[in-house]
Amino acid sequence: MKILEGKKGIIFGALDEKSIAWKVALKAHEHGAKFILSNAPVALRMGKIQELADLTQSKLVAADATNNEDLQVLFEESKKHLGGNFDFVLHSIGMSPNVRKNKHYTDLNYDWLHKTLDISAISFHRILQLLYKGDFMNQHSSILALTYIAAQRVFPDYGDMADAKSMLESITRSFGYHFGVKNKTRVNTISQSPTPTTAGSGVKGFDDFLGFADKMSALGNAPADACADYCISLFSDLTRFVTMQNLYHDGGFSSIGVTPDVL
């Protein structure tokens, strides 16, 4: 069953085979979608993403998600290339210089905090605003971003990314209202289990934490591949009235107090 047949979109954030966005692109292709792949110019220069473009017969367009001009050009080029407006957009973008450089949450570098917020949260507002003002989305389209439960609970080593994720989820609700009223576009976040990717592994103690989270989940950690399936269902017409939600895709972790395994 191809549930995205005839649908067109943009996928931000595939860096290598481990990236969640990489898996989403492979599945979207399997499900019959046509899309543009986008990432920051520096990520495109690494060259790996060309493999994904070849595998999925999609075009690559560089755009720094913190730069409105890059984004505007991306949307115009994508519309031309795909032959119309978009049915889905994935924001799978995150980076914190403070986390990368092991700057403790009680000793943040504020220039880096601005970067964290700009790349990991405000970029989502920029994307939504440019899509909204430019009338780039089809009726009943779907826009998704990826988040983490550190927006609700304290995970000390997640640092300022927790603040970025809170903001990302808030933007999702606020803009979700306006986009819903405008053309029934839905806007949601998926709160994913810890996943071994470049961004994930950058968090201190990630490997130990992966094991803990796995034991604290009824189903175990949700793998990236299953996250991609969930994204596809949210891009499809099967979820037309789900909007402004933070949807947990975490094997039940978010509802558990304690498990015998952890004790």
Ligand X SMILES: NC(=O)c1ccc[n+]([C@@H]2O[C@H](COP(=O)([O-])OP(=O)(O)OC[C@H]3O[C@@H](n4cnc5c(N)ncnc54)[C@H](O)[C@@H]3O)[C@@H](O)[C@H]2O)c1
CB under 6 A: which stretch of 24-32, 93-101, 106-114, 178-186 binds ligand X? 93-101
Burial of 69 (0-12, 13-18, 19+ CB in 10 A): exposed
What is the footprint of ligand X within residues 34-53 (CB under 6 A)? 39-40, 43
Among the candidate windows 51-59, 79-87, 130-138, 189-197, which touches ligand X by CB under 6 A? 189-197
Q: What is the bridge-based pairing of β-strands 86-91 and 8-12?
A: parallel
Name which of 2, 23, 6 is nearest 14 in CA terms.
Answer: 23
**Rule CB under 6 A: is residue 93 a binding residue for ligand X?**
yes
For residues 3 and 210, which CB has a smaller minimum distance to ligand X in the complex?
Answer: 210
Q: With contact defined as beta carbons under 8 Å apart, do 28 and 16 qualify? A: no
CA of 253: how far to CAs of 191, 258, 259, in Å? 11, 10, 10
x/- map, 15-34, ligand X, by CB under 6 A: x---xxx-------------
Nearer to ligand X among residue 138 and residue 144 (C-beta)? 144
Looking only at residues 94 through 123 of this chain, which bind ligand X when binding is defined by CB under 6 A?
Answer: 94-95, 119
The only residue of 50, 198, 233, 259 in contact with ligand X, by rule CB under 6 A = 198
Query: Of residues 88, 148, 175, 253, which one binds ligand X by CB under 6 A?
Result: 148
- CA gap 136, 133 in Å, rounded: 8
Nearer to ligand X, 185 or 246 (CB): 246
Q: Which run of H or E residues covers position 77?
A: helix 68-82
Q: Cβ contacts of residue 6 below 8 Å, gap of 6+?
A: 32
For binding to ligand X (CB under 6 A), which residues are involved?
13, 15, 19-21, 39-40, 43, 64-66, 92-95, 119, 146-148, 192, 194-195, 197-200
